[in-house]
Amino acid sequence: MKFAVVVFPGSNCDIDMYHAIKDELGEDVDYVDYRETSLEEYDAVLLPGGFSYGDYLRSGAIAARLPIAAGIKEAAQQGKPVLGVCNGFQVLLELGLLPGAMRRNRQLTFICKPTTLIVKNNQTPFTSTYESNQEVSIPVAHGEGNYFCDPATLTELKENGQIAFTYAEDINGSIENIAGITNKEGNVLGMMPHPERAVDELLGSKDGLNMFVSLLKQWRESHAITS
């Protein structure tokens, strides 16, 4: 399986994401520059955290208008798994691949700490190796991670099983403690916590590794069916 880690000016978790795939998962991975336009050769696309363009506009707004945006949208439309973490989640919102928006944390301060998440849907390509309602420890590091959507969108998210993760407790004001959501098709996931920072016990937790294992499992199963 071949992964792409898209690098924007201001990305700072791209190396962590690369390490998670290359050294922990043992799969092929490349850095892909934001000036590229195609991700055709990759099986999965990863948008890392950071501060693309310094978050000088809305977080992720400028990154969503770069040449690579076309490739990200095409990959999503083709059904390839697309994972956006932290700033990557914000980019997916700005691209319109996920519903809702991000606001500043309720307490108006940057949060950086381990958090407990609850796996709300383990029937996605990203979560199949977790148990339903399993509690996992994955760190957060964000100042603008307060997820918001209107009541109609929230109802849709619930009815379609698009809420992948929730925080075990309210840490930033996110509506219904939402920490991560998918698109209706389930192949695009945006989440504020950083699974790539939880892939080894030396980091305090390896609970994030199962997310990448799930992607590999799903790809191998689909590849076996089509080959």
Contact 21, 32 (CB under 8 A): no
Question: Catalytic residue at 194?
Answer: yes
Catalytic residue, from 86, 94, 144, 149: name it: 86
Catalytic residue, from 13, 142, 144, 194: name it: 194
Residue with tokens 């992964």: 3
Q: Is 198 exposed, middle or buried (0-12, 13-18, 19+ CB in 10 A)?
A: buried
Single out the residue of 72, 93, 73 nearest to residue 147, CA to CA: 93
Question: Catalytic residue at 24?
Answer: no
Q: 130-152 burial by CB neighbour count: b if 16+ within 10 A, else e?
A: beeeeebbbbbbbbbbbbebeee
DSSP letter assigned to residue 164: E
Single out the residue of 30, 18, 16 nearest to residue 138, CA to CA: 16
Question: Catalytic residue at 36?
Answer: no
Single out the residue of 179, 157, 159 nearest to residue 167, CA to CA: 179
- Per-position DSSP letters for 20-69, written without gaps between them: IIIIII--EEEEEETT----TT-SEEEE--B-GGGG-SSTTTTGGGSTHH
DSSP letter assigned to residue 205: B
- For residue 201, the tally of other CB atoms under 10 A from its CB is 9
Residues with a catalytic annotation lie at 86, 194, 196
